[in-house]
Amino acid sequence: MTSPFDPQPDESGPSRRPDPLDPGHDDVRGLLRTVGPVLLLAGLIFMAVGVVSFFSAVGGVEPPRYFWCCFVGIPLMAIGGAVCKFAFMGAVSRYIADEVAPVGKDVINYMADGTQGAVRQVAAAVGEGLREGTAGQAAPSARCPQCHTVNEASANFCKSCGSPLTKSAHCPACGGANDPHARFCEHCGKGLS
């Protein structure tokens, strides 16, 4: 089974990873994958020699002759472990992603299936509230001839500058009152002179 995190084929080869930022990345990773385990193994050998030397000298008269190997082995193991961590980080991350991604996808699908009804109810309630809130609010308005602020149609004075609001342009066709700057009648749609 292939993973979405596996290298994808491209034009240059059957299974080559996309161009990395650093062209020498593969060489560095190969070096780290060699040096890390070698340092780790050398540290383990030094630790084993030091521990064996210590325990073999416990019952004897001589002090442990190779106990100093422990003090060399511990840093070698630490450095080797750190190098291995960086050398195999990509492989470990891909493995973790292969394990976690399907579970995350299943959780999201489960949550989507379980919440569809609730989301529909909320959307319907929001739509109904918007319809009720906007019903009857499309009141006619009057524009101030001085500052052009939109006021309620029933207002006698501008709420912004205090100028008197008069609808002085009367339609010649229907006789309806319109804003002084209107070019067409808001009642019948005929052109105003």
pLDDT of residue 14: 47
Pairing of strands 177-178, 141-143: unpaired
Pairing of strands 169-170, 177-178: antiparallel
pLDDT of residue 33: 93
Strand partners, 191: 184
Mean pLDDT by 10 residues, the chain (193 residues): 50 51 83 94 95 86 87 95 92 90 88 84 86 65 79 82 76 79 82 78
Handedness of CA 51, 53, 54, 55 (dihedral sign): positive
pLDDT of residue 12: 47
pLDDT of residue 27: 87
Strand partners, 184: 191
pLDDT of residue 45: 96
pLDDT of residue 13: 45
Rounded Cα gap, residues 148 and 100, in angstroms: 61
Rounded Cα gap, residues 49 and 57, in angstroms: 12
pLDDT of residue 186: 83
pLDDT of residue 159: 87
